Chain A
Amino acid sequence: MRFTLRVWRQAGPEASGSLVTYEVDDINADTSFLEMMDLLNEQLTTEGVEPIAFDSDCREGICGMCSMVIDGEAHGPLPESATCQVYMRHFRDGDVITVEPFRAAAFPLVRDLIVDRSAFDRIMQAGGYISVHSGPKPEPNSVPIEPETVELALDAASCIGCGACVAACPNASAMLYTAAKVSHLALLPQGQPERYDRVRKMVTQMEKEGFGACRNYGECEAQCPKGISIAFIGQLNRDYVRASLRDPVDRRGKMVPQ
């Protein structure tokens, strides 16, 4: 198969970027999209051109590292797939394919197709955890949990943190990501003690990072490689409202051992 690629090239965050056209030929239909990019990069290296920088690691759709907007869609045309799970058989011979980075103000560009998604980590650091030390813990079967609840929490926890929801959203909102993280813990009994504190802190951090507001476009769910439902955004909003109605006094200062 033969393709014309229009790939975003940008040497660094301050440099100006543009779409550069490349031709690839003789591509086997069973080649994955990233393997096709590897072949292009080998071709470029041989020609003495710097290869295109892009992120990828596990190449089986679970690490969340790969991040390309292919023909205007985060992770390309296939539903519920990461970029690394797209194969050239999903395109037509001779197609012109446009490849861009995940664009968002909160995801500054690093180089070519690589962006900085550390804002996601900072949202997690703001409260995306259950405070617990390592050491002996109670017997887990002493708190039975309905399997339906666990499965729902797992639907949320399946988020791979790739940022496609942000790239897909016209407002570059991170609501789906934050909602998935908040809901995972809010649904489980272990997550109850910090539930409302957590949602408040994570939403505050999300806003600080410069992500846009959610307007219910639903593009995030449509382009999410794990198909995470926007119903979790409803869960986040409910918890957030409850959190703001609660006494916001932080008593933690008094709990530190003297």
Chain B
Amino acid sequence: MRLDAKIPEAPIEDMWETHREHLRLVGPRSRPQYRIIVVGTGLAGAAAASSLGSMGYRVECFCFQDSARRAHSIAAQGGINAAKDYRNDGDSVYRLFYDTQKGGDYRSREGNVWRLAELSANIIDQAVAQGVPFAREYGGMLANRSFGGVLVERTFYSRGETGQQLLLGACSALAEQIAAGQVEMHTRTELLDVVVIDGRARGIVVRDLVTGQIRSHAAEAVVLATGGYSNVYYLSTNARGCNVTATWRAYKRGAGFANPCYTQIHPTCIPASGEHQSKLTLMSESLRNDGRIWVPRERGDARPPDQIPEDERYYYLEERYPRFGNLVPRDVASRNAKDVCDQGLGVGPTGRGVYLDFRDAIQDHGHDVIKGRYENLFKIYERIMGESPWGTPMQIYPAPHYTMGGLWVDYNLMTTVPGLYAIGEANFSDHGANRLGASSMMQCLADGYFILPLTIGDYLSRHPSRDVNCDHSAFADAERGVRDQIQRLLGVGGTRTVESLHRELGRVVWDHCGMSRTAEGLERALEIIPQLRDEFWSDLRITGTGEHLNKSLEHAGRLADFLELSELMCRDALIREESCGGHFREEYRTEEGEALRDDLDFAHVSVWEFRDADQPPGLHEEPLTFHALPLAQRNYKV
């Protein structure tokens, strides 16, 4: 496996422009001769499919949900960053680049991050042109709020449903292209293999989730926009259907998997309550703008929160990080919550919770202002917890939310398999070891609207063959493999349900490869996971057949991949003997307990190469270089 990031030779501020000017193009009359597959219809996938369709390419687009608009980007709440400097508070492309690099603990590629910051303003323009109703000020200008890890206000939002509005914008553009016949949409269809012929991606094998039919689709290029793998933890803020299958099958076909251990545990989620729970619900980070986080100073203080006087409340983020206060980056906020709960200061029935209190904000700004900002979030909370945040502080605890790791891509967003692209959360590129709030939608849309539609043309123009069809034996082989796996899953005939096995895997990964990790714990997990995988393949029980809509069968296929991925995550976490961002190894910390990086040995991307199932994966390294922003210890205290 050769890792050539293809970073253009140019000063960082001119890099993307220079690259654009030198990319080979496909002319408008030739574009209809190329077929492109886009898998996934979240912000990245819908933006890419609609953009490619409107350029004239023939696009086939796939999603496992019943409609493109239901992809999990829809659930993003707080907002999207853009370096517009509308607030005149010193924002700039450089500042957004700086915040993202620092927030990611200097584990991402400078060139990619700069480009992301550069394109951020265009995304807002594009979304507004599509009719996305961003919040406005009284004078009709776009409004901004602030988010964790930054000292400027650059986040654009639509109430607490920014993701829904941006996705509806992207999906409306997609609808236009579907109507125009440029995009052929396949809903309730799941990717089960990637077909590689002569070293190039040439198509995919899918299962129609309604009829169970296995089908092949051929194309000149394949784009995976299939999101992240937080559901490996079973309990996460992801939708139930989110899975690693597409990227994992691509990995097994030769695409390098980068930094699988970089996962983000989001600090503000509703705490888990019991065994029956099927998912965790995020409370937008924007709440940290006005909410103050605290725990009682005394262990085991069982008084109701409103009876705990001011001086007996421990506002631990404000005390420990006076400059950023409650708006420290997510990894720092999560680790501190865990820390105070480990000390026995946690609240709620399980002791794994901290207060997020709006009392002061309601006093300072008035009921109406706070209502305008967070009404729907307060409603979500009240519905789940049966308690109103107007009177009692919210209880929150960190939960798995986002995965920075993913398929390795070069500057063109192409994986190590020529013709196979990964965009959005599915790739690893821009967030390093920790993603800042309101940056995921920015990355998805930058990839989908502005980067991929150009870079893919360069590849296509170099491979003008238009002979793709599904006749090649590689398609038949891949289909056979997929059918065999389904038969295997149905044929185990054991006693355990998919849910129970998934829950068990989740607990192992959460305990050993979650908010903090140790060599000992990871080694332990590496012993347990193969046993669990054996149990899965010998004691699984699925009823029904593969010839109809069968949710347990779908879930089992996804769990089979999580059972393999989790091992790679632990392996990656074990060899990265440093702490950075969301990857916190207890052995490596500063005297103050913060993450301690080892830039000498670990300033690189770890890229894993699949070898045979019986062999351990190969490890490659892409060194990271720092020119525009020299390495520094991350400090949010002063």
Contact = CB atoms under 8 A, between A and B. Distances in A.
A141 interface: yes
B75 A58 contact: yes
A161 B54 CA distance: 25
B580 interface: no
A30 interface: yes
B124 A38 contact: no
Chain B interface residue bracket vs A = 35 or more
Contacts of B129: 130, 132, 137-138, 140, 190
Contacts of A129: 130, 172-173, 175-176
A51 B136 contact: no
Nearest to B140: A144
A165 interface: no
B230 interface: no
Nearest to A60: B281
A11 B240 contact: no
B176 A134 contact: no
Interface string A32-66: 10111011011011101111010111111111110
B279 interface: yes
A257 to B, nearest CB: 10
A134 B75 contact: no
A144 B140 CA distance: 4
B278 A32 contact: yes
Nearest to B121: A139
A139 B575 CA distance: 47
Contacts of A154: 133, 158-159, 165
Most B CB contacts (10 A, CB to CB) among A41, A121, A126 go to A121
A165 to B, nearest CB: 16
B74 A128 contact: no
A61 B279 CA distance: 13
Most A CB contacts (10 A, CB to CB) among B65, B133, B137, B276 go to B133
A118 B142 CA distance: 34
8 contacts: A30-B274, A35-B277, A51-B543, A51-B551, A63-B74, A135-B126, A147-B143, A154-B165
A157 B380 contact: no
B241 interface: yes
Contacts of B161: 62, 158
B543 A134 contact: no
Interface of A: 11-12, 27-28, 30-32, 34-36, 38-39, 41-42, 44-46, 48-51, 53, 55-65, 78, 80-81, 85, 87, 89, 110-111, 114, 116-118, 120-121, 124-126, 128-141, 144-147, 150-151, 153-154, 157-158, 160-161, 184-185, 188, 190-191
B133 A147 contact: no
Interface in B376-399: 379-380, 383-384, 386
B125 A147 contact: no
Nearest to B128: A140
A36 B143 CA distance: 41
Interface string B116-146: 0000001011101111011111111111000
A28 B274 contact: yes
Contacts of B240: 56-59
Interface of B: 47, 50-51, 54-55, 65-70, 72, 74-75, 86, 122, 124-126, 128-131, 133-143, 158-159, 161, 163-165, 168, 171-173, 175-176, 178-179, 185, 187, 210, 239-241, 273-274, 276-279, 281-282, 379-380, 383-384, 386, 449-450, 453, 495, 497, 499-500, 541-544, 548-552
B454 to A, nearest CB: 10
Contacts of B178: 125
Given A57-B240, A157-B168, 16 more contacts: A30-B274, A49-B543, A50-B544, A60-B279, A120-B67, A134-B449, A135-B126, A136-B125, A141-B141, A141-B142, A145-B136, A147-B143, A157-B133, A161-B70, A188-B131, A190-B128
A117 B548 contact: no
Given A28-B276, A65-B65, A153 B75 contact: no
A158 B542 CA distance: 38
B608 to A, nearest CB: 29
Most B CB contacts (10 A, CB to CB) among A27, A49, A124 go to A124
B126 A134 contact: yes
A151 B157 CA distance: 12
Nearest to A129: B172
A48 B67 contact: no
A41 B239 CA distance: 19
Contacts of B131: 130, 153, 184-185, 188, 190-191
Given A137-B122, A137-B129, A161-B69, A61 B380 contact: yes
A35 B65 contact: no
A164 to B, nearest CB: 15
A188 B68 CA distance: 24
Contacts of A50: 543-544
Given A118-B66, A191-B131, A63 B552 contact: no
A28 B128 CA distance: 45
A138 B499 contact: no
A198 to B, nearest CB: 11
Most B CB contacts (10 A, CB to CB) among A11, A61, A141, A153 go to A141
B379 to A, nearest CB: 8
A11 to B, nearest CB: 7
